[in-house]
Structure 1
Amino acid sequence: MPADGPPDAPTDQAGRAGWAAGRGIVVAVGLVAVLGVLAVVSAGSGQLHVPPAEVVGSVLHHAGLDLGPLPTHPNGDAALWTIRFPRVAMAALVGAALATAGAVMQGVFGNPLAEPGVVGVSSGAAVAASVTIVLGLTALGPWTTAVAAFTGGLAATFLVYGLARSAGRTEIVTLVLTGVAVNAVCGAGLALTTFLGDTQAREQIVFWQLGSFNGTRWAHVGVVAPLVLLGITGALALSRRLDLLALGERSARHLGVDVERLRVLSIVVVAVLTAAGVAFCGIIAFVGLVVPHLIRMAVGPGHRVLVPLSALGGAVLLLSADLVARTAVGYADLPIGMLTALVGGPFFFWLIRRTRRSAGGWA
């Protein structure tokens, strides 16, 4: 088996490129189809059930095409456009953001076990959000916690990078260890704010940490969407250089890649994507770890294919998880971060064993 592709991948460079492109088109079409079906089913599922045909009919009606049945329930159309569709859009956007961030992180670190939390963005966002909750800050109204979380995530990421940088360079090992230290400090800060808060504040902090799309509105989607699209565009722009970095730092430099600049830009992209993803919805773990690795197993490691397919795969995964969260228990909305952790935890353990096995370690 080649080190950089699934068992049936060609071994020559031109063959691998053509194989990845063809396989990528098939996977992309499949993911888009699944995403469309999931969006329709998810929008119609819940306490107020709307059949898929009526969901499609409502969308066509708002597009000016009266080609399908409209929701028969008197509140069906309003529920779809006020509650359901914003939630579906947010789940897809956040899933795409976290998965893309994971693909970039794994490319920069050269390690399939890397994920966005390594650079401290999630823990920084959690601390900032918990501070606003405990102190009861409302300077920006209902947007206060989300803005604080976004700012805290960016601040923690740039702190990690600043502390890890020395003599104009940033070593990957130093960056990882600095991220671990900053995550530990943020964890202590989160514990302190939880301890200082009253019962209501503690419940809010715990609920925020578990992640949820409950209460999502179009205004929230309007803020997150441009940031996610900007981040994905940035990741695509870096994809060729990430492929060259996979050859090794020395080889990448000989091929004209400014490795340090690439790392800075990659960390900025990861910070924006992850901070945008967690700002309104809380911490959602393992999406950035699981999805890029599965896509890489399917189409190979080329980032020009891996990045867009990871975005689609992340959207599919999180939309599926949100559908389960809303429908698994009657009259309850399960924390989506809990569901992704239930799936991602065993997957992470399997990935560690697979990595050790391929490296000649214990099985």
Structure 2
Amino acid sequence: MGSGPLSRFTVLDLTRVRSGPAAVRQFADWGANVIKIEEPGLAPDDRPGGSAQVADYQNTHRNKQSITLNLKHPEGRALFLDLVRKADVVVENYRPSVKFKLGIDYESLRKVNPRIVYGSVSGFGQDGPYHDRPGLDQIAQGISGMMSVTGEPGRGPMRAGIPVADLTAGLFCAIGVMVALLEREVSGQGQWVQTSLLQSQLWMMDFQAMRWLMNGEVPGQSGNDHPTSSPTGVFPTADGHMNIAAMGNDIFARLCNVLGAPELVQDERFRTVPLRARHRAALGAEIAERTRTRTTQEWIARMNEEGVPCGPILNMKEAFADPQVEHLRMSQPIDHPTLGPISVVGQAVTLSRTPMGKLAPAPESGEHNLDVYRALLGLDAAKVEALAAQGVI
């Protein structure tokens, strides 16, 4: 067991692909004893193939131990229940019916460990008309309305460039499990924590959802422009493009001064927030005519001096070379035994007294069989070898 603020917790990780691993990664990064449980042999939908998958796998499954265990084998399930007795958390992202078929659902596990906290991530929820459908990130983006507001008007629906439903579902699962662990300190009892890609994506719709729920307004696509505020969007410069977000009257006035166009403040089309939104195209053209005259960095320097929110538009290489990104240490080094020095994405939160420790590489399948089975269940090397020969692990 490692060190860190969560080192007292043992997490059994039954997750694959992204949403579940995104939840478990929060525990692994902060020092929990995370045991990734895999079927004997390589799992083709989780283990890496090409170079992109290798990089993704190292980021997603860092700081874990890996054991193999055949949950379909009676003795394998018995071993799993023995592990549950020693654990604090189980996290899974199977289709809802799978855990019941395996006999490892929450009600089954709480009989052997009433303190167990059981986290489930699914595509659409644990019950309801869609509950046992296969759920993937892009499907949730479509059903939630996300794709209907992403992209340029008239171009058709557009997915986000990242698996936002997967990642946020993972974060919500982690938050729910943390809440359940805190509640357990009072009640002494575990509970079942449930979230889904669809729920997390609808939560992420935020003000767009509220435009419908309270105002009966169906939001559409607005491209790079903010849906309700102007001028907020992408503007051309002498050497590329930049973002400007001049919400509110005061910031708009500052922007006009920086652009050398104070007359825009008095223009009847742009005098108020609603008017600027109504005349978005005309205002955008006025601003673009002026931003084209200088480079991105020149405008950024001038606007920051006047307190106008703005910034460059970077690719991945440029983003990680940005001085603020470097300062935030969002690229974290790992020493991999075969790949050598690699980097993964850092945590997006820091703690003042208990910083995140050194990161460990993602494990090979079954790499920690002997260590885990010996430490948690007291099995010796001969027993572990015999179980492997029988196809149990």
Bigger helix share = 1
Which band: TM-score by shorter chain? under 0.3
Bigger strand share = 2
TM-score normalised to structure 1 length: 0.22
Which structure has the bigger radius of gyration?
Answer: 2
Task: Report 1 or 2 for greater relative contact order, CA contacts < 8 Å, sequence distance ≥ 6.
Answer: 1
TM-score normalised to structure 2 length: 0.21
